[in-house]
Amino acid sequence: MTEKAQQPESKNRHKTVEQAEQEGKYIRKVRSFVKREGRLTKGQARALELHWDTMGLNHSDGMIDPAALFANDRPVVLEIGFGMGKSLVEMAKNAPELNFIGIEVHRPGVGACISLAEEEGVTNLKVYEHDAIEILADCIPDGVLTTVQLFFPDPWHKKKHHKRRIVQPEFVESIRRKLKVGGVFHMATDWENYAECMLEDMSSAPGYENLSETSDYVPRPDSRPLTKFENRGQRLGHGVWDLQFKRIS
């Protein structure tokens, strides 16, 4: 029998795990991302090689002590899923009185972020290339963060994929534990249904207070630069929803 003939007669046999995952057919573990095999540009590869030692953080190093890490005790802002890092670097540059930690799974994005930070002379920023869920559980101590930012998380449009959205009651609770009392969880999305789900999950989560005067959304604060995704959304006439919730207990 030839090798070909031995293959199972399934119409899905040529699918990769990633394709099957995207279609919701095969899920090893419910994750909020699908690892893309993007190639690194020369600049990104060089930035990772030259500056990982000063700017990179490793999941395998376990719990961090932010004050020791930055050699000062300035408030710490954590950004989850920073994409290419453009707005994160801009925020870090504009706020030298704060320390920033970014988490992103997409390696070219991490390379681009480090490269830009280096170019801009930003020294108050460190980044992980890893799943934020695991970093929160294994590396970030409770009660140390002043702000958590989640800007334009993957919306997972189809209903059958909503379980892959990163904002879920369990995630919301893990963010609450990592914030200081008085710290703020700031989310933004250009997908109305996701905004509504975020509002529902956040409003019913214990230990948070909505900072919106109308008990729903807040205007974009000046601290959050317009991102590529938002610019595109605005051109298409889409809305953007910002949510800010304070940890109260």
> Active-site residue numbers?
154
| Closest CB 64 distance from ligand SAM, rounded Å | 16
For ligand SAM, the closer of residues 109 and 111 by Cβ is: 109
The CB-nearest residue to ligand SAM is 81
Q: Say if residue 131 carries a ligand binding annotation.
A: yes
| Closest CB 13 distance from ligand SAM, rounded Å | 28
Q: Say if residue 229 carries a ligand binding annotation.
A: yes
For ligand SAM, the closer of residues 106 and 247 by Cβ is: 106
Whether the Cβ atoms of residue 105 and residue 130 lie closer than 8 Å to each other? yes
- Distance from C-alpha of 179 to C-alpha of 146, rounded to nearest angstrom: 6
Whether the Cβ atoms of residue 127 and residue 57 lie closer than 8 Å to each other? yes
| Closest CB 29 distance from ligand SAM, rounded Å | 11
What is the per-residue DSSP string for 174-214?
A: HHHHHEEEEEEEEEEES-HHHHHHHHHHHHHSTTEEE--TT
| Closest CB 211 distance from ligand SAM, rounded Å | 20
Q: What's the burial of 188, exposed, middle or buried (CB within 10 Å: 0-12/13-18/19+)?
A: buried
For ligand SAM, the closer of residues 88 and 122 by Cβ is: 88
Question: Which residues in this chain contact ligand SAM in the complex, by CB under 6 A?
Answer: 32-33, 80-83, 103-106, 109, 131-133, 151-154, 166, 227-229
Q: Which helix (H) or strand (E) holds 19?
A: helix 17-22
Identify which of 153, 133, 150, 154 has the alpha carbon closest to the alpha carbon of residue 22. 154
* Single-letter residue type at 6: Q
Q: Say if residue 134 carries a ligand binding annotation.
A: no
Q: Say if residue 228 carries a ligand binding annotation.
A: yes
Q: Say if residue 190 carries a ligand binding annotation.
A: yes
Q: Is 244 helix (H, G, I), strand (E, B) or coil?
A: strand
For ligand SAM, the closer of residues 76 and 105 by Cβ is: 105
Whether the Cβ atoms of residue 39 and residue 112 lie closer than 8 Å to each other? no
Q: Say if residue 196 carries a ligand binding annotation.
A: no
For ligand SAM, the closer of residues 107 and 247 by Cβ is: 107
| Closest CB 116 distance from ligand SAM, rounded Å | 13
- Distance from C-alpha of 111 to C-alpha of 215, rounded to nearest angstrom: 38
**Residues of each annotated binding site for S-adenosyl-L-methionine:** 79, 104, 131, 154
**Residues of each annotated binding site:** 79, 104, 131, 154, 158, 190, 227-230
**Residues of each annotated binding site for substrate:** 158, 190, 227-230
